[in-house]
Amino acid sequence: MKQQAEALAPRPIYKVAVSRVRAAELLDVSTGTFDDWVRRGLMPKGVKIGALRRWDAEEIRASWYDIKEQGLSGDEDDGENPFDYAVG
């Protein structure tokens, strides 16, 4: 019975290539921010096939980790943030 349930359980779908919108969603940023990061070379340009452009999901993740390793994330303190003292 357990084997039957495992066989029927839905398997997660791991997407290899994603649209611009999905690529931005992977990073939890707007499409405008994603486009800016692509222009700045922080993210890959994707692959155009016909009228479609798709991004390799693993390349998106790898680029994110590269940003973190190279210190391009902007973690340095750039002054007072007005939201530091917000209560919520």
For 2-83, strand residue ranges (E) read: 17-18, 47-49, 52-56
Residue for token pair 């009228």: 51
Q: Token pair of 53, please?
A: 């452009």
Q: How many domains does the chain have?
A: 1
Task: Assess if residue 56 is contained within a domain.
Answer: yes
* pLDDT 10s digits, 25-83: 999 999 999 999 999 999 999 999 999 999 999 999 999 999 999 886 555 656 676 66
Task: Assess if residue 79 is contained within a domain.
Answer: no
For 1-88, strand residue ranges (E) read: 17-18, 47-49, 52-56
Task: Assess if residue 80 is contained within a domain.
Answer: no
Domain region containing 34: 14-69
Using 50, 70 and 90 to split pLDDT, how confident is the model at 11?
confident
| Rg for the chain, CA atoms, rounded | 19
Task: Assess if residue 43 is contained within a domain.
Answer: yes
Using 50, 70 and 90 to split pLDDT, how confident is the model at 13?
confident
Higher pLDDT pick, 2 / 33: 33
Task: Assess if residue 24 is contained within a domain.
Answer: yes
The per-residue pLDDT for 5 is 61
